[in-house]
A and B are shown apart, each in its own frame.
Chain A
Amino acid sequence: MAEIIHVQNLKKYYSIPIRGEGLKESIRSLFFRQMREVRAIDDISFSLEEGEIVGFLGPNGAGKTSTLKTLSGLLHPSGGEVKTLGYVPWQREPNFLRQITLVMGNRNQLQWDIPALDSFELNRAIYNIPRAQFVQLRDELMELLELKDLAQKPIRNLSLGERMKMELVGSLLHQPKILFLDEPTLGLDVSMQRKIREFIAEYNRRYGAAVLLTSHYMADVEALCKRVIIIHHGKIIFTGGLTDLANRFSSHKTITITFIEAPEHIEDYGEITERNENTIKMRVNKNEIAAVSASLFQKFQISDITIEEPPIEDVIDTLFSAKDQMLEQTTDGIR
């Protein structure tokens, strides 16, 4: 597989004005302006291959959106090297822009007052798409997303989920080779989230487009991404598969057991996280999982048992907390 995104030591620093509270500080700031440097992206390197779907995860303000915007040419970095499809993104060459798309869950890119069909027509003109190809792809995408009946409604009259689906169609009409998706399922109900996920997977399968996806919904990431990149305070703290992530950063597994009769002293085997009549969910240390299971079968009558990796949210949460603690310790050390 060919590498289509190459990022080397990318940095994006912002200088933002800071000011104390109150009138006095406000007057002082008129004459003495204090600035603070914010390191949105702090020396990151990674790559993406053709046709790959990669999850780009991190808490709010971690640098995910800044990275996506830099890779799509919206932001000029403070340092480092980026090649997206062989182009330097911020030079914004038309040939580069014709091959990418950026969809943001909280932003509307279609014309608000007119039906989506008219907006799509504008995209056809912008990207100079041959009419036959345009009509075929537009109809195909709209069918995939079950949008046929909504095509003639003005965008402003659509629901959030319908709008997002229309946004996706509009963004894909020029068959981009790379999709930057920033929270595409933000604010959508579970069923709509699932439809969008299925659509992204199907588009990737049909057209072989690479996808770099940010999402706070782990269901999106688990369903779509074989590989994730985790960013925190502007730095990459993990790159690899989801299983790898759980193996490396989780010391526990979750066992769900259904007993035939209510058990006694079950808490001796692990930390109980949920109890529902005869069904118990507990966290057990990874190294003890085999021994605990065997022991449970020996001592109790069990009708069902499942052993699972902990939810990926928990693993990532543990990872962020650990990194924050490390950062605090480092900062304390400097002080």
Chain B
Amino acid sequence: MVYVNYYLTMMKIAIIEQFQYRVAYYFYTFGMIAEPLIYLVVWTTIANAGGGVAGGMLAGAFAAYYIVWTLVRTMNISFTPFGWEDRIRMGQLTSMLLKPIHPIHSDLAFFGGEKIPNIIMWLPIAVVLSLIFHPIFSPSALGIIVFFISIWLAFIIRTIALWLLGMITFWTTRVSAIFDLYFALELILSGRLVPLSLLPQWTQNISLFLPFQWTFNFPIETIAGNYSISQLLFGLGMQIVWIAAGSVALQFFWKRAIQQFTSVGN
């Protein structure tokens, strides 16, 4: 009950904060659409040039993929590992550590709260993009249910993954090169840059054993693709496995990380 109350309050605060800076919010929303719009235009053009098909995918399938992409990308946003250095230096972590609640709940609740207005904003954007690009959608009822579960599980996986990455800052600072490498791998192996089905088979095989595709490609394909019931359930299972494994790793490293915390000058 304490956690439910905390999550609801923090989510409310996240929404209030988001509306505090209206112009920033409009720009943010525009930025969120710009990236998939570029991919969408490029792939639709390629498909249309190839008689309506590219890499076995129809132009309408690309449209479906990237329209859902916009929402999944929003759901993927969590506390960046680049932010840990400031969080430690500016004393924000000190403040979080004094509270009788694990700091990861603060991030989950805050970034989770931010998503609610974003989901609402996404609906008219999706309608406009659909009118322009004519996506092909044929999701099953189960696919739609799994989609709404999987986008939240994707958010949890990514939060844990980025927390684990960011915690390197406790041992050494200026590790942005490692973070950049991680994001490059994620860009390719998650399905963010191109749908995974367009990548070579060996790349798809590797991505099966990494967390990336379960945060991006899988939620998109639950409604944009033609997943069978077993594929949908397997995907959900994989998300749960990654959350469980990530939580264990997080607990292990967090205990050691806060022992490194010197809080000097903060």
Contacts and interface: CB of A to CB of B under 8 A. Distances in A.
Are A and B interaction partners? yes
Interface stretch (A69-77, A278-286, A288-296, A298-306): A69-77
B97 A114 contact: no
B263 A74 contact: yes
The residue among B1, B6, B20, B99 with the most chain A CB atoms within 10 A of its own CB is: B99
B95 A109 contact: yes
Interface string A139-165: 000000000000000100000000000
A125 B6 contact: yes
B6 A126 contact: yes
B98 A118 contact: no
Interface in A102-138: 102, 104, 107, 109, 111, 113-114, 118-119, 121-122, 124-128
Interface stretch (B10-18, B219-227, B234-242): B10-18
A113 B17 contact: yes
A75 B263 contact: yes
Contacts of B261: 74-76
A69 B2 CA distance: 26
Contacts of B262: 14, 75
A195 B20 CA distance: 32
Interface in B2-40: 2, 5-6, 8-10, 13, 16-17, 20-21
B20 A154 contact: yes
A275 interface: no
A109 B98 CA distance: 10
B100 A114 contact: no
B230 interface: no
Given A97-B99, A126-B99, A128-B5, A114 B94 contact: no
B229 interface: no
Given A128-B2, A154-B20, A72 B98 contact: yes
Interface in A62-96: 69, 72-76, 92, 94-96
A175 interface: no
Contacts of B1: 128
A190 B157 CA distance: 51
Contacts of B258: 76, 92
B16 A114 contact: yes
A262 B258 CA distance: 67
A97 B2 CA distance: 15
Interface string B237-266: 000000000000000000000110111101
Contact of A73 (B9, B21, B97, B264): B97
A30 B98 CA distance: 36
Nearest to B98: A102
B58 to A, nearest CB: 45
Nearest to A76: B259
B263 A69 contact: yes
Contacts of A94: 100-101
B100 A126 contact: yes
Contacts of A100: 98
A220 B21 CA distance: 39
Q: Which 10 A-B pairs have the closest CB atoms?
A: A94-B100, A125-B9, A97-B100, A109-B95, A107-B91, A125-B6, A128-B2, A76-B259, A125-B5, A113-B20
10 contacts: A14-B264, A74-B94, A75-B261, A92-B258, A98-B100, A102-B94, A107-B266, A113-B17, A118-B13, A125-B9
Interface of B: 1-2, 5-6, 8-10, 13, 16-17, 20-21, 91, 94-95, 97-101, 258-259, 261-264, 266
Interface of A: 14, 69, 72-76, 92, 94-98, 100-102, 104, 107, 109, 111, 113-114, 118-119, 121-122, 124-128, 154
